[in-house]
Amino acid sequence: MSAPPPRVTHGPGEPYVGTSVPRVEDQRLLDGRGRFLADLAAGALSVVFLRSTEAHAVIESIDTTRATDMPGVVGVYTGNDLPLARDYIGSLHTPDPGFVAATGFRMPEQRLAILPVDRVHYVGQPVVALVASDRYLGEDALEAVDITYRPLPAVLDPSASLAPDAAPIHPHLPDNEAGRIEVEFGDDVAADAVAVTVEGTYRIGRHGAVPLEGRGVLARVDGQRVSVWTSTQIPHLVRQGICEATGWSVDAVRVVVPDVGGGFGTKANVYAEEVVVPVLARLTGHDLVWVEDRQEHLVGSAQGRDQVHRTRLSVDREGRVLRWEDDFLLDIGAGGLWVAGVVANTAIHLLGPYRIPRVRLRGRAAFTNKTITAQYRGAGRPEACFALERSLDDAAGRLGITPVEIRRRNLLTAADLPYAQPLPYRDGVPIVYDGGDYLRCLDSVLELLPAETVERLAAEHPDLTIGHGVGCYIEATGRGSFESGRVRLTSTGGFEVASGAASAGQAHETVFAQVAADGLGCSLELVTVRRSDTDLVRHGVGTFASRSAVLAGSAIRRAAEQLLDQATGRAAQLLGVSPDLVKSTASGFAAADGSSEWEISWADLATACAPGGAQEQLGPLDVVEYFHPETVTWTMGAHAAVVGVHRGTGAVSVLSYAVAHEGGVEINPQVVEGQVIGGVAQGIGGALLEQFRYSPTGQPTSTTLAEYLLPGTCDVPDVQVRHLGVATPCNPLGVRGAGESGTIAVSATVAGAVEDALHGLVRVSETPIRTGPLRAAAEQIRREGQ
């Protein structure tokens, strides 16, 4: 059942899957030859957006006359000027009816206006679009747009927003509930079985992806069609969003993804700008570009997390979990097209990698007057993990056992797995954890980073008080419904691969080529992976939710195999031999019948099926496959951290970090390791530094990178990663998703280590962790000479 051991180099005749072949995209991306959205802007006029300065207000008037007369201005447009079929972008995810029935899931329709004309819902919401000859003149002219707002009270607290007497933020809805879910199973627990019950309130701050490259959209009209280049993870859903809003036919819109400098979920969303820019390109006839700047990004791009969990965990004398209850709230801001995904993810992942017989969960999402949200890396999983893992640490402390011990007693082992939960997944299929041995991950991470590391690091850092923490997580990966993969023989005998799963810099060009080369039995150099383009694959979903390797990888694998199959038949026909005599080689096909030998290259086959060739009638060798997984496949892992708390300031440094991770087959082990390490870095940001803050009137105060603090290289230690692969039968590659794994357990793990460092004098129950209380505790320890 174990996945084959990873190989660093690729030997002749060996599969490429499992090998750390160097990333082919890196040369281009690292030496400055990447082509990002802004690199395509030459010749286009600039679109600039006037964004709401009010958190919640009625728009009394918009006067664009002065702005229209400013130098360089081509036009100024409000929502009334856009010829839209529908003035909002629809939800991007609806759970399966089976899941809805089992969980009472409900959500209202969201109708946040593409460019609002009567009411604004958050600071940063685009209100007016202006086309100018360049960005400088455009920004000058924006200052001449006169808008009168009548402020309304800003709702910033999700509990207040859901209070029975709260005024609805969105006039078409009766209240501010954006979603709800209830999960309950297991028998009541006898009171005398319970040794300890811990209750807690855990807050996960409002964090965001903040990728290196912001968003951006370029639109060009070409006869009846509009081509849209956008920095997105989900080109086909963007196309759908544009078509639904404009009424244009799917055939009239092409969406192309250039090089993308990071997405992490914030670009797995459809945005107003992605509709407005092509609409204005049609209206004006000009090529138009909008490149988001960092200030816009920090108020206008989708954010995440921002949850509050009220928990109750009961364990028996041995520390075995008897009952787990959580009542959680999500603040989705003015809207979130993935609210169903995040609410359901949170609930499902609250079940953790443990045996928990009795569960009661209730979750509600609230609209507030903050920036919109989407699925930020982990999307409910890190929040669920924080609540559950923190509760376990608390219970362990009360029982007088270690955090490691309480997990050891509850983690699912080889004897328990596969493990069914009495609940369907979002796709309606009953949840079954298809893992190997979760306890092994905990043992393994402690080998990498044993608790005794504390003593060594304490000696090295006299100014710090040192602690050790652990955290475990579970992750559903590779969600459907489908993904596309296309493999095509080019006219020169190479292969082009395309998929709906767009790359945001991960390594799609490398790993998809590995998968295709194995399926084709050809050498890797023959394969080129194209960037996503709705003209290359007509259907697709996108890259998010740790799904690309699983779904796109599987689709590409099948397309490659099918192409090989077709090609073998054609080669046999060309050679005039029976197909079973034809063998594929690294460069094409060979056949032998004892007396003679023949060879035919992929280039020969390409010539044969081109016009004038012997197989012209058969058409090109070009296969599109859609892979529909039956359901998700589960990744599990354990994290360990050693942190130091500065005795004078309470500042937390993460000194050492380790992850042991039960994924599946690794297509490219180094790429997986990179994903895990990057995830840990992002997790450390959330645990210690990052927070979108708002003033009491709803003004965002984290509007530059001097206020929204991202972790730098000095804030992230070396991360040791151990992969304990267990191949899954759920897909032809045996892979499990790994894109979000690294980030999920970080806040919980760091929090545990901080408490350990401070001898349990503080309870860490929120992220980012506040240093003030830590400083007080560190001082107390010093005074008492502990």
Q: Which CB sits closer to other proteins, 139 or 182? A: 139
* Spatial distance between the Cα atoms of 6 and 73, rounded to a whole number of angstroms: 58
* Spatial distance between the Cα atoms of 722 and 564, rounded to a whole number of angstroms: 35
Lay out the site mask for other proteins across 254-293 (x = CB under 8 A, - = otherwise): ---------------------------------------x
- Under the binding rule (CB under 8 A), the answer on residue 712 touching other proteins is yes
Q: Choose one: 78-86, 139-147, 187-195, 328-336; the region binding other proteins (CB under 8 A).
A: 139-147
Q: Residue 581 CB: number of other CB atoms within 10 A?
A: 15
Rounded to a whole number of angstroms, the minimum distance from the CB of residue 293 to other proteins is 4
> For residues 166, 170, 175 and 178, what is the CA-based torsion angle, rounded to 10 degrees?
-120
- Under the binding rule (CB under 8 A), the answer on residue 649 touching other proteins is yes
Total residues in contact with other proteins, by rule CB under 8 A: 25
Of 327, 443, 604, 715, the residue at the interface with other proteins (CB under 8 A) is: 715
Rounded to a whole number of angstroms, the minimum distance from the CB of residue 704 to other proteins is 7
Contact 302, 336 (CB under 8 A): yes
Question: Can you read off the two tokens belonging to residue 46?
Answer: 């600039």
Upper half-sphere CA count for residue 303 (Cβ side, 13 Å) = 33
Of 648, 729, 760, 786, the residue at the interface with other proteins (CB under 8 A) is: 648
Amino acid at site 745:
A
Contact 588, 521 (CB under 8 A): no
* Spatial distance between the Cα atoms of 594 and 597, rounded to a whole number of angstroms: 8
- Under the binding rule (CB under 8 A), the answer on residue 136 touching other proteins is yes
- Under the binding rule (CB under 8 A), the answer on residue 653 touching other proteins is no
Residues numbered 658 to 697 that lie near other proteins (CB under 8 A) are 689
Q: Which CB sits closer to other proteins, 618 or 709? A: 709
Of 238, 642, 775, 777, the residue at the interface with other proteins (CB under 8 A) is: 775
Of 94, 295, 523, 601, the residue at the interface with other proteins (CB under 8 A) is: 295
Rounded to a whole number of angstroms, the minimum distance from the CB of residue 693 to other proteins is 10
Contact 630, 436 (CB under 8 A): no
Of 81, 140, 182, 244, the residue at the interface with other proteins (CB under 8 A) is: 140
Contact residues for 30 (Cβ-Cβ < 8 A; gap 6+): none
Q: Dump the DSSP string for 367-415.
A: --SS--B---TTTTHHHHHHHHHHHHHHHHHHHT--HHHHHHHHB--TT
600: left (phi over 0), alpha (psi -120 to 50) or beta: beta
Q: Choose one: 14-22, 395-403, 609-617, 704-712; the region binding other proteins (CB under 8 A).
A: 704-712
Q: Which CB sits closer to other proteins, 549 or 655? A: 655
Q: Choose one: 145-153, 263-271, 402-410, 645-653; the region binding other proteins (CB under 8 A).
A: 645-653
Question: Can you read off the two tokens belonging to residue 516?
Answer: 């295709």
- Under the binding rule (CB under 8 A), the answer on residue 651 touching other proteins is yes
- Under the binding rule (CB under 8 A), the answer on residue 420 touching other proteins is no
Rounded to a whole number of angstroms, the minimum distance from the CB of residue 373 to other proteins is 24
Q: Which CB sits closer to other proteins, 150 or 294? A: 294
Amino acid at site 411:
L
What DSSP character marks residue 710? -
- Under the binding rule (CB under 8 A), the answer on residue 621 touching other proteins is no
Strand 358-366 and strand 321-331: the pairing is parallel
Rounded to a whole number of angstroms, the minimum distance from the CB of residue 772 to other proteins is 4
Q: Which CB sits closer to other proteins, 689 or 751? A: 689
- Under the binding rule (CB under 8 A), the answer on residue 714 touching other proteins is yes
Q: Which of 494, 498, 538, 499 is nearest to 520 (CA)?
A: 494
- Under the binding rule (CB under 8 A), the answer on residue 135 touching other proteins is yes
Rounded to a whole number of angstroms, the minimum distance from the CB of residue 73 to other proteins is 14
Q: Dump the DSSP string for 138-158.
A: HHHHHTT-EEEEEE-PPP--H
Strand 495-499 and strand 146-151: the pairing is unpaired
Question: Can you read off the two tokens belonging to residue 406?
Answer: 């309480």
Amino acid at site 300:
G
Query: Looking at 100-172, which runs of residues are DSSP E strands?
Result: 119-120, 126-132, 146-151
Rounded to a whole number of angstroms, the minimum distance from the CB of residue 462 to other proteins is 12
Of 139, 175, 184, 405, the residue at the interface with other proteins (CB under 8 A) is: 139
What residues line the site for other proteins (CB under 8 A)? 135-136, 139-140, 143, 293-295, 646, 648-651, 689, 704, 706, 709, 711-712, 714-715, 771-772, 775, 779
